[in-house]
Amino acid sequence: MRAVVQRTVSSRVMVEGQVIGAIGLGLTVLLGIKKGDTSEDADYLMDKIVNLRIFPDQDGKMNLSLQDVAGGVLLISQFTLYGDARKGRRPSFTEAGLPEQARPLFDYCVENLRLKGLEVQTGEFGAEMQVDICNDGPCTILLDSFRAF
């Protein structure tokens, strides 16, 4: 499981011109689910996301977590995080989880974050979406449950 985590002032996701999810201060998380990912991968990644100390404290140092600042999460499923473009010019997505495996795991991630008391908004799984992100900093962190980076 992979995540692109962006510290944001605000973000929103639209489907067919309609806003279906939006947050103010918080994290916008683009989440890729790989074949073979499990709830243990999800638990690891969601815990890491919630506890990342990437928000500035009173001295301007990245020292506060999402919970410390009472921020929200906009969680967007993005299978293209497992695109492999090492050969040719057209990415292969063979490592991405199939919808019947990825959807329940995505829903598990949403519930995991909500159980931690966070406001969670989402995109629409499998839909063509437009995501507006006002990245703060900019601050972007890459996470991988296999600790590849």
Neighbours of 1 (CB within 10 A): 26
Under 8 Å between Cβ of 129 and 15: yes
| Orientation angle between helical segments 39-51 and 99-115, nearest 10 degrees | 40
Q: Does 78 participate in catalysis according to the annotation?
A: yes
Among residues 79, 106, 121, 122, the one annotated as catalytic is: 79
Under 8 Å between Cβ of 26 and 139: no
Among residues 6, 8, 28, 78, the one annotated as catalytic is: 78
Amino acid at 60: G
Among residues 38, 67, 80, 130, the one annotated as catalytic is: 80
Q: Are strands 72-77 and 120-122 parallel, antiparallel or unpaired?
A: parallel
Q: Does 101 participate in catalysis according to the annotation?
A: no
Q: Is 51 helix (H, G, I), strand (E, B) or coil?
A: helix
Would you please indicate which residues are annotated as catalytic (active-site) residues? 78-80
